[in-house]
Structure 1
Amino acid sequence: MKYNIGDRIKTKKKHVCGFDEWEVLRVGAEIKIRCVKCNREVMVFKTELDKKVKTLVHIENQ
């Protein structure tokens, strides 16, 4: 899956805060995402994120 900065994604599992929507902040081999509810930022390898993503919710940069 291709990610762009500003994309919103939904994950299969919820974050500890109880929300499952994330915003993409940085792309590359590692992708930086931020929880929309609690603003926690996490770096995840692209291959791992591809397995965890349920849907691409919103694309701002198109």
Structure 2
Amino acid sequence: MRKDYDLGDVVELKKPHPCGTNAWTIVRMGMDIRLKCTGCGATVLFVRSEFERRLRRVLKKATPGA
């Protein structure tokens, strides 16, 4: 999969979070990617390959300069 996501983007994963929401904000990128749940604020850390496997689509791109 080509990289089509960036820091601050809101993404949708294949499985929803237990709180019921399926939207996550990317808060850290490197060898691994940290996501923050938009519903409850919980954070999870994925290895990049695992994140790309679970990624369904980018819901909202981050605003430039934010």
TM-score by length of 2: 0.85
Match of 1:13, SS state, is coil
**Cα deviation, residue 2, structure 1:** 4.1
Tell me the equivalent position of 2:22.
20
4+ residue segments displaced more than 3 Å: none
**Cα deviation, residue 3, structure 1:** 3.0
Tell me the equivalent position of 1:29.
31
Q: Gaps (5+ residues) in structure 1?
A: none
The structure whose Rg is larger is 2
* CA distance, structure 2, for counterparts of residue 55 and residue 61 of structure 1: 17
Give the number of equivalent residue pairs: 62
The percent identity for this pair of structures is: 26
Match of 1:51, SS state, is helix
Q: CA offsets, 1:5-47, max 9 Å, x none?
A: 1101001110111111000000001101000000001111110
**Cα deviation, residue 60, structure 1:** 1.3
* CA distance, structure 2, for counterparts of residue 53 and residue 5 of structure 1: 14
Q: Gaps (5+ residues) in structure 2?
A: none
* Aligned CA-pair RMSD: 1.2
* CA distance, structure 2, for counterparts of residue 5 and residue 61 of structure 1: 10
Tell me the equivalent position of 1:7.
9
